[in-house]
């Protein structure tokens, strides 16, 4: 079994990279990376934009980013960078913080940032780069602190548990604003993106908010829809199964019987007749009411 490439990437170690004058480089890095222009100047090219880069500018990157660094035609560029892999920091960071980094890596507004040379993080990284021969624990912790400062308030909320509360509130609001059938039209990963949390975290808060897993909730909605169709419609059982989202009649029969203790066909005979009797009683009462109203109207005239 092949190990992922990031296993062989240096962790919490500042590396140096040179870019010849006029040359381009596309960062193809893994993990969360802080990269600084040590010397020289150039441009950051992304889609149709062109941002000037001066010595001291810092990038925060999460994984591969669609963009390129172009060194000036006048002089080469020297870059320093280090990468952090949150999954390697078990015991140091919490599950909520690791979930935060996984989700944030998918957000374009967060996974790439440019900090000017005068930014406090840029000034501190400049000091670290100047002393990059160090290997002590305090030096590595200083790198982690730089990433924490760059991530800012959102990471602090995840650390304090507020991010978990926010995700729960977003899920509650989503379920309140949409009919429950939206669960059948939305995949689990799509719901995770809508609520801005990782699938693992969504699994926990969905169980907490709804009282069952996402898959169990979908099954409940499908069976409820099938039960309504059986009671009020005249479609064949196989058509009800297909319309309710089941791919085969056998799986529908199995799930329906397991849930209600009776086959769909027998359930229809029993409850369909009851529903029809209720409907007839309502219709009869409505007609009697209309007849009485007409007699009263004629008497008044």
217-296: CATH superfamily: Homeodomain-like (1.10.10.60)
For residue 301, give the 3-state DSSP assignment.
coil
pLDDT at 279: 43
Q: Which residues, at least 6 apart from 22, have a Cβ–Cβ distance to it below 8 Å?
A: 70, 71, 72, 73
pTM of the predicted model over 0.75 = no
pLDDT at 19: 94
193, HSE (Cβ side, Cα atoms, 13 Å) = 9
Residue pair 240/230 in contact (Cβ under 8 Å)? The answer is: yes
pLDDT at 163: 52
Its CATH architecture, for the domain 5-87+119-154, is: Sandwich (2.60)
Please give the Cα distance from 7 to 68 (Å, whole number): 25
For residue range 124-137, list pLDDT tens digits in order. 999 999 888 887 88
Domain ranges of the chain: 5-87+119-154, 162-211, 217-296
Residue pair 96/163 in contact (Cβ under 8 Å)? The answer is: yes
Whether the predicted pLDDT of 278 surpasses 60: no
pLDDT at 155: 74
The overall average pLDDT reported for the chain is 81
Averaged over 48-63, what is the pLDDT?
A: 91
Whether the predicted pLDDT of 226 surpasses 80: yes
Whether the predicted pLDDT of 280 surpasses 90: no
Averaged over 187-216, what is the pLDDT?
A: 87
Same topology, domains 5-87+119-154 and 217-296? Answer is no
Phi (first) and psi of residue 105, to 5 degrees: -65, -20
């Amino acid at each position: 079994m092949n190990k992922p490439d990031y296993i062989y990437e240096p962790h919490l170690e500042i590396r140096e990279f040179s870019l010849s004058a006029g040359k381009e480089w596309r960062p193809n890095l893994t993990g969360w990376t802080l990269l600084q222009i040590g010397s020289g100047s150039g441009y950051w090219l992304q889609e149709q934009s062109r941002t000037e880069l001066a010595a001291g500018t810092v990038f925060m990157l999460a994984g591969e980013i669609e963009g390129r660094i172009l060194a000036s035609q006048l002089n080469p560029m020297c870059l320093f960078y280090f990468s952090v892999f949150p999954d390697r920091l078990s015991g140091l960071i919490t599950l909520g913080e690791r979930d935060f980094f996984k989700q944030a890596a998918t957000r374009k507004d967060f996974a790439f940032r440019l900090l000017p040379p005068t930014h406090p993080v840029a000034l501190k990284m400049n000091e670290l780069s100047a002393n990059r021969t160090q290997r002590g624990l305090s030096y590595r912790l200083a790198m982690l602190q730089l990433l924490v400062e760059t991530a800012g308030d959102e990471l602090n909320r995840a650390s304090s548990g507020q991010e978990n509360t926010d995700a729960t509130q977003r899920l509650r609001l989503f379920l309140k604003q949409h009919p429950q059938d939206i669960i059948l039209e939305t995949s689990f990963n799509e719901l995770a993106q809508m609520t801005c949390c990782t699938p693992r975290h969504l699994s926990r808060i969905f169980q907490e908010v709804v009282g069952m897993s996402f898959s169990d909730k979908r099954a409940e909605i499908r069976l409820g829809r099938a039960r309504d169709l059986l009671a009020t419609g005249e479609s064949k059982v196989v058509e009800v199964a297909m319309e309710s989202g089941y791919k085969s009649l056998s799986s529908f029969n199995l799930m329906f019987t397991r849930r209600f203790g009776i086959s769909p066909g027998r359930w229809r005979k029993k409850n369909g007749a009851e529903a029809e009797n209720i409907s007839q009683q309502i219709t009869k009462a409505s007609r009697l009411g209309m007849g009485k109203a007409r007699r009263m109207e004629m008497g008044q005239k």
